[in-house]
Amino acid sequence: MNTLIGAAKSASFHRGSLGRAAANIPGTMAKPSDAAIRRLEKSARGASAGAYAPYSRFPVGAAVIGGSGRIYTGCNVENASYGLCNCAERTAVFSAVAAGERSLKAVAIYTPTPLPTAPCGACRQVINEFGPDALVISVCDSKNRVETKLSALLPAAFGPGDLA
């Protein structure tokens, strides 16, 4: 389910690429309602206002729907020691986990770009820990948006089951 919706149907992600679905993904979670997805996207857009991005000047917002149905937000937080920066997606996931969530239904990422931007590899791996079959929605400043499953963005992912 890799779907680009918007004015430029041939547009692609700014970073990353879509892969094939992984074969070892456990059961699927029901897709959130259209209303929940609209709230999630709005929350991701709003979260970007809190970004601390003095170096990249690229404020990103993210929001996740936990297994409970509650929405958690996050923004990117940069640091003068660049390796210590934290992406918006991971901030949102960590907030959800700190609140007691142990599963994710969906993730929305907002970037101030003309085309949707996919989560980076580190964020994909963190999302996989709690939502291997999560819906991933990327939105931007235009009407373009992408909906896909994490399993398409991170095929054959390494996860908790690989540590047995």
Q: What residue ranges do the domains of the chain occupy?
A: 33-155
> How far is residue 136's CA from residue 56's CA, in Å, rounded to a whole number?
24
% the chain with pLDDT above 70:
82
pLDDT in tens, 69-128: 999 999 999 999 999 999 999 999 999 999 999 999 999 999 999 999 999 999 999 999
Mean pLDDT, the chain, rounded, equals 87
pLDDT in tens, 92-109: 999 999 999 999 999 999
User: Judging by DSSP bridges, how do beta strands 135-139 and 61-66 pair with one another?
Assistant: unpaired
* Number of Cβ within a 10 Å radius of residue 86: 17
Q: Is the predicted pLDDT of residue 15 greater than 90, yes or no?
A: no
> Catalytic site residues?
89
- Phi, psi dihedral angles at 64 (to 5 degrees): -125, 150
Q: Which CATH class is domain 33-155?
A: alpha beta
**130, 93 in Cβ contact below 8 A?**
yes
